[in-house]
């Protein structure tokens, strides 16, 4: 059995389990929905044996969801020393930065929410609220900084750098309090590291995504099916992985501005994939949010670099360096918060839009080869 065939079987069976759990969560007619999904699978692949397995896994997903409802939820308590260290870092930031700059830095660095409703609304309306939560991109940047810093120590071997980097990621995730999007990014980072170090190449992009979803479905299904921030996080990373390369290839005439081309492609892709859900759940859109993101996103790596150093060296000087960057971000959010349109999309339209996007992705990537050059930010 070929490598690609095994990967595809894993993808579809994992997807069957997730869809089965999802149908049980969202509808009383889950039984009929599951049968409809199985019929679609059969008419597409015409493989009776594989269809029967798909049927079994789909209903297994539904039964697992019902079983989860009958069992008590597992709660994880973050160790007190880590909680105390987070409190210490927040206290240092509050003491040495003015408001709302200190709140913004705590959001970018520690995932803290805005204390002021007006400022928070400005970031929501401008389409920049995502930078105030610890996103997958922020975590990837921080991991890269840690990894490169460890590589600078010549006494450390590659085999030692990888586990040390993973320990730092675990520490950072604990510091964040197990936020859904941070867990998603950390899980995908672990898969990336393990695949590269154990197999010398990366597993299929879609399998990294579906395996992350599968872990969430098994561990915290309510996060996938109810938490809009986790849903938006997965949609954004899907857009970045699959749509961004297509958009970037169309912008080859910007060959002298690689970073700008990459930032534009990733930002636009993430917004295309998250826009239907945002309009359904929140009913607002900023037509100029793409430009606001283009003005701000190039600064995020520098802010995360400062945050990475501050994590282990919490001195005032670093916060003073960050202050003008934070001032600029707040200024951009305030200016672009005045171009908001309000419109709620019906659920049927949202489902139709995502169906089109997913079908398009499938046809673009159905023969996807083992890929080692993609962005997990």
Interval 362-373 mean pLDDT? 57
Lowest mean pLDDT among 1-10, 58-67, 218-227, 336-345: 1-10
Question: Tokens for 376?
Answer: 């997990």
The pLDDT, as a whole number, for residue 141 is 62
Q: How many CA atoms lie within 13 A of 166 on its CB side?
A: 14
In angstroms, rounded to a whole number, what is the distance separating the alpha carbons of residues 60 and 57?
5
Number of CB atoms found within 10 A of residue 327's CB: 14
116 has a pLDDT exceeding 50: yes
**What torsion do the CA atoms of 40, 43, 47, 49 make, to the nearest 10 degrees?**
40
Confidence of residue 325 (pLDDT cuts 50, 70, 90): very high
Confidence of residue 327 (pLDDT cuts 50, 70, 90): very high
Q: Which of 188, 182, 252 is nearest to 214 (CA)?
A: 188
Q: For the segment 37-60, what is each residue's pLDDT rounded down to a tens digit?
A: 889 888 877 888 888 988 999 999
3-state secondary structure at position 286: strand
**Residues 4-12: contacts with CB under 8 Å, at least 24 apart:** 4/369, 4/370, 7/203, 7/204, 7/207, 9/50, 10/207, 10/210, 10/211, 11/204, 11/206, 11/207, 11/210, 12/41, 12/50, 12/54
- On whether the CB atoms of residues 243 and 269 are closer than 8 A, the answer is yes
Confidence of residue 365 (pLDDT cuts 50, 70, 90): low
282 has a pLDDT exceeding 70: yes
Share of the chain above pLDDT 90, in %: 6
Helix intervals (H) in the chain: 3-26, 30-45, 48-70, 80-96, 101-110, 117-126, 136-151, 158-176, 180-199, 205-219, 221-226, 228-242, 244-250, 258-281, 289-296, 300-312, 316-336, 347-365
The pLDDT, as a whole number, for residue 142 is 66
Query: The tokens 């918060």 sit on which residue?
Result: 337
In angstroms, rounded to a whole number, what is the distance separating the alpha carbons of residues 223 and 199?
31
Q: For the segment 118-174, what is each residue's pLDDT rounded down to a tens digit?
A: 888 888 888 777 777 655 556 666 666 666 666 666 666 666 776 777 777 778 777
DSSP tag of 71: S
13 has a pLDDT exceeding 70: yes
Q: For the segment 230-269, what is each residue's pLDDT rounded down to a tens digit?
A: 787 788 878 877 888 878 777 766 666 666 677 778 778 8
- Would you tell me the crossing angle of helices 228-242 and 258-281 to the nearest 10 degrees? 140
Q: For the segment 290-316, what is each residue's pLDDT rounded down to a tens digit?
A: 788 778 877 877 887 888 788 888 888
CA 34 to chain centre: 27
Query: The tokens 């921080």 sit on which residue?
Result: 142
Interval 113-119 mean pLDDT? 81
The pLDDT, as a whole number, for residue 372 is 41
The pLDDT, as a whole number, for residue 374 is 39
Average confidence score pLDDT of the chain:
77
3-state secondary structure at position 342: strand
What pTM was estimated for this model as a whole? 0.74
The pLDDT, as a whole number, for residue 101 is 87
Interval 70-95 mean pLDDT? 80
In angstroms, rounded to a whole number, what is the distance separating the alpha carbons of residues 132 and 105?
8
The pLDDT, as a whole number, for residue 56 is 93
Query: The tokens 């996060």 sit on which residue?
Result: 223
Confidence of residue 212 (pLDDT cuts 50, 70, 90): confident
- On whether the CB atoms of residues 364 and 180 are closer than 8 A, the answer is no
């Amino acid at each position: 059995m070929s490598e690609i065939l095994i990967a595809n079987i894993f993808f579809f069976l994992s997807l069957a389990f997730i869809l089965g759990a999802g149908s049980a969560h969202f509808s009383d007619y889950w039984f009929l929905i599951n049968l409809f999904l199985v019929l679609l699978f059969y008419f597409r692949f015409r493989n009776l044996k594989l269809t029967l397995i798909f049927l079994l896994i789909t209903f297994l997903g539904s039964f697992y969801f019902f079983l989860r409802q009958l069992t008590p939820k597992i709660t994880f308590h973050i160790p007190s020393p880590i909680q105390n260290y987070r409190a210490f870092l927040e206290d240092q930031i509050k003491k040495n930065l003015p408001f709302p700059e200190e709140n913004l830095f705590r959001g970018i660095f520690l995932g803290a929410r805005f204390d002021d409703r007006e400022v928070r609304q400005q970031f929501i309306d401008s389409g920049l609220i995502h930078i105030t939560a610890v996103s997958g991109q922020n975590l990837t940047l921080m991991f890269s900084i840690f990894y490169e810093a460890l590589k600078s120590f010549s006494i450390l071997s590659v085999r030692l750098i990888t586990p040390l980097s993973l320990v730092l990621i675990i520490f950072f995730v604990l510091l964040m309090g197990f936020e859904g999007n941070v867990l998603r990014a950390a899980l995908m980072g672990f898969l990336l590291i393990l695949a590269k170090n154990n197999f010398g190449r990366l597993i299929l992009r879609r399998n990294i995504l579906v395996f992350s979803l599968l872990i969430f479905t098994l561990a915290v299904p309510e996060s996938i099916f109810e938490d809009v921030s986790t849903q938006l996080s997965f949609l954004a990373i899907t857009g970045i992985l699959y749509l961004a390369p297509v958009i970037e290839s169309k912008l080859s005439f910007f060959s002298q501005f690689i970073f700008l081309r990459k930032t534009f492609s990733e930002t636009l892709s993430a917004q295309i994939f998250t826009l239907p859900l945002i309009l359904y759940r929140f009913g607002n859109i900023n037509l100029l949010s793409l430009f606001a993101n283009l003005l701000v996103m190039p600064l995020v790596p520098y802010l995360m670099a400062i945050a990475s150093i501050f994590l282990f060296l919490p001195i005032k000087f670093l916060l003073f360096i960050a202050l003008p960057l934070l001032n600029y971000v707040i200024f951009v959010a305030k200016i672009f918060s005045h171009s908001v349109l309000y419109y709620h999309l019906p659920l049927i339209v949202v489902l139709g839009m995502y169906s089109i996007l997913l079908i398009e992705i499938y046809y673009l990537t159905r023969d996807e080869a083992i890929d080692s050059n993609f962005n997990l930010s």
